[in-house]
Structure 1
Amino acid sequence: MTRVRKTVGRVTFVGAGPGDPGLLAVHAAEALRRADVVFADAQVSPAVVALAAAEVRAVEGTPADTAKLLLAEARNGLSVVRLVAGDPLADEAVAKEALAVARTVVPFDVVPGVPVGVGAAAYAGVPYGPLRTEADISDAAALDYESLAGAPGTLVLTVPAADAQLLGEQLVANGLKPDTPVTVSCGATTTGQQTVTGSLGDLELAAVGMSGTLVVTVGKAATQHEKLAWWEARALYGWRVLVPRTKEQAGAMSERLRSFGAVPVEVPTIAVEPPRTPTQMERAIKGLVTGRYEWIVFTSTNAVRAVREKFEAFGLDARAFAGVKIACVGEATAEAVRSFGITPELVPSGEQSSEGLLADFPPYDDILDPIDRVLLPRADIATETLAAGLRERGWEIDDVTAYRTVRAAPPAAEIRDSIKSGGFQAVCFTSSSTVRNLVGIAGKPHARTVVACIGPQTAATAKEFGLRVDVQPESATVPALIDALAEFAVAKVAEEREKAAAAAAKKAARRR
């Protein structure tokens, strides 16, 4: 009789870094996606924890207790990830867990992470250099301050906020000068990061108002913070920006907002549903295949998606568009068409709107155009501007409902309160329906909220609802909208600085 040996899983110790999920190693992100179970420290950033596809359990107890849990799951054939803030083997307790696993037959890996201290220092713009001393201080009272104060180079110290005063006092008492430059950071590498400069003798004052784990850099390198503070200097740093789009549509916008330091909050205002009856769309798809249309005009990414889904349902692919010219109302819609493997013939050269498309759309020519019909698949609430303009140019129109837009459910009470009370620094509207539906389900944004609209029609609708439109890009695309918002923020900061400088000069003149 042959005995089947039970398959043993694997334990992977993964460094989560200081907080920003963008700092994860590729191997770390892959391990989180593949894991059957994840054991995470409480200090790991929620943004990193959210990348795990499996159940995430909190770690409690001694290193021996944790090792037993890891081994039990691995012996059941599971892929286990032990997720640790910073770098795994820089943590003494985690090193003990790894040694316990190493004493068994269960295989294990270690994926290094960016240490919390140097990660925070880099995001604070402190060039800590090759000669440095790093210390993760969990017990400030038991630290060898004499050795620490005598260490060469920059000190990069991770310490609880409650121990900041003791740290400063003891370093000064053991030989460092009170005027030694320091930076203090909390919320390291997140959009909540805050960095303050000061001197070692006043370390307690520099850390006022900060909580949690602090990263303190001590030495001349700290004086470079003001020049190299790239993370907190981004145009929209710390701005909460309301993104009234569905989660599927908000991805590119939210990502671009994050690149400028903003905190996007996605609030769906519309839901996209199929037409009440599929007959119209089925007839339109058949017409595409049989050569009924000269043009198909897409006015949104949703319309592209609706046609593509019908193609897939009928077993068709991009070849069904052979002989049909494709026009798109804007670059975002054109990109959705290109992802289908097709290059559109017409995208507006000027304003990316129905009017812009009509300005470039050719009139029907009974000699050059063998077919006089245009397919216009769009939302059930679409305006007549485009269809009427095409008819004026001599085209016959099949105006087909490709999808329905319905108002989404109201957001949570906390979000509604933030919208009305000015809890958002900005809101980005990408269509007239997002304006109407946001006001309908959550109320009007507060007067101090910056209103950014993607194009003239959206801006006109916002003004109809009594909103002040602050930002409107020249090109009606999501990237252009976010870039324009960032430029607005930079100009606003510059204006506020000029006012502050003028007020200070006026005050000084009065004193003289």
Structure 2
Amino acid sequence: MTDHAKPEVPAFDWPEFPAGLVWLVGAGPGDPGLLSLLGLHALRQADVVIHDALVNPQILEWRKQGAQAEYAGKRGGRPSADQRDISARLVELAKAGKRVLRLKGGDPFVFGRGGEEVQTLLDADVPVRVTPGVSAGIGGLAYAGIPVTHRLTNQVVTFLTGHDLKNDTTPSIDWQAIARGSPVLVMYMALRHIDRIAARLIEAGRAKEEPVAVVTNATLPNMKVLETTLATCAADVVETGLTAPAIICVGKVVSLRAMTDWLGSSEG
């Protein structure tokens, strides 16, 4: 992409990006247009961009000429960069006087380990700035035509991760309490354990016929949406061959998609 084809940052009193600072930016769930103007400003100033696996490559093309791009992706079940190594690399580059952009998919502080990285950086006396991004649990579902809240269905929504540090199904989660207390559940990184999660929710009292949506590659042209139920979701995921990255929504808001699927997104 030629430089003149890159989006321009409009005139504004933008914050400075001094040498030695690490700027954490949420790139959103995939669609490049969901990157914020602050994120674009940082991208056009950075000397080095340390990016996650789910950052759209088109966004990386918007970095300034000569800026270095380093991959630091983490994907469940695949060889991935160690989080300690990633944090140490951020410190190393900042101490070398680089303007370091840590570009993360979704939002840095929503199941994105951004908090851990900020802790490490501040402990090392490295200045930090954080710019939030559109989280897949909100933006990805919106592209699928699913509102996470609707006054006719729910006043509560719960966001949770489908696995813990050991890639287990988060044994620390009180499934009984969540099943009783939250009418809508939005689950990140849960596809691998969807069979066990669904079984636990049913055991905790959720209806077997409760609507479930599985959204893969959210906000991208190849997005797929599977509408299913709690009882059949695991088998349907296997039958359709859906793979990560995926966001899963459980609750009556999924049924609203028949009236709110503004994009006409594809079925899995």
- In the alignment, structure 1 segments of 5+ residues that lack a partner are 1-6, 239-512
- Following superposition, the deviation at residue 223 of structure 1 comes to 0.3
Q: 2:61 maps to what in 1?
A: 50
C-alpha distance in 1, partners of 2:177/2:57? 35
Residue type at the aligned position of 1:142: T
Q: Secondary structure at the match of 1:91?
A: coil
Q: 2:29·2:139 contact (CA, 8 Å) conserved in 1? A: yes
Distance verdict in 2 for CA 1:64–1:122, change over 3 Å: same
Q: 1:216 to 1:140 in 2, by over 3 A?
A: farther
Corresponding position: 1:41 with 2:41 = no
SS in 1 for 2:189: strand
Q: 1:142 aligns with which of 139, 149, 170?
A: 170
1:466-477 residue pairs with structure 2 within 5 A? Answer: none
Instruction: String of CA shifts for 1:102-145, please: whole Å, max 9, x gaps.
Output: 12332210010111111111111112115200113233523423
Match of 2:105 in 1: 85
1:201 paired with 2:231, answer yes
Q: For 1:145-171, what per-residue CA distance to the aligned partner results, in whole angstroms no more than 9, with x for missing partners?
A: 323322323111123433222222221
Distance across 2 between alignment mates of 1:195 and 1:16: 22
- Structure 2 unaligned blocks of 5 or more: 1-17, 73-79, 150-154
TM-score (norm 2): 0.78
1:124 and 2:144 correspond: yes
Structure 1 counterpart of 2:191: 161
Q: Please say if 1:217 is aligned against 2:249.
A: yes
Structure 2 CA distance, aligned partners of 1:205 and 1:55?
43
Kept in 2, the 8 Å contact 1:20–1:47? The answer is no
Task: Name 1:230's counterpart in structure 2.
Answer: 262
Alignment partner, residue 134 of structure 2: 114
Write the mapping of 1:354-365 to structure 2, written as runs, cut at 5 A: none
Are the counterparts in 1 of residues 161 and 190 from structure 2 also a CA contact under 8 Å? no
Give the letter for the 2:251 counterpart: G
Higher helix share: 1
Aligned length: 229
Q: CA deviation at 1:38?
A: 0.7
Amino acid at match of 1:188: A
Post-superposition shift, 1:84?
Answer: 1.1
Q: Counterpart amino acid of 1:33?
A: R
Q: Contact 1:140 / 1:167 at 8 angstroms: preserved in 2? A: no
Residue of structure 2 equivalent to 1:295: none
| C-alpha contact 2:28 2:134 (8 A) present in aligned 1 | yes
What secondary structure, in the 3-state scheme, does the structure 1 residue paired with 2:23 have? Answer: strand
State whether residues 19 and 47 of structure 1, in contact with CA within 8 Å, keep that contact through their aligned partners in structure 2: no
Distance 2:127 2:97 in 1: 11
Between the aligned partners of 1:26 and 1:92, the Cα distance in structure 2 is 20
**Higher RCO (C-alpha 8 Å, min separation 6):** 2
Q: SS in structure 2 opposite 1:81?
A: strand
Q: Which has the larger radius of gyration?
A: 1
The secondary structure found in structure 2 opposite 1:71 is helix
Q: Distance in 1 between matches of 2:241 and 2:81?
A: 31
What CA RMSD, in Å, does the superposition of the two structures yield over aligned residues? 2.2
| Paired position in structure 2 for 1:191 | 221
Deviations 1:53-95 (A, max 9, x none): 3221122544332222112211222110111111112236321
TM-score (norm 1): 0.42
Q: Which residue does 2:210 correspond to in 1? A: 180
Q: Is 1:31 the equivalent of 2:51?
A: no
Q: Which residue of 2 aligns with 1:63?
A: 83
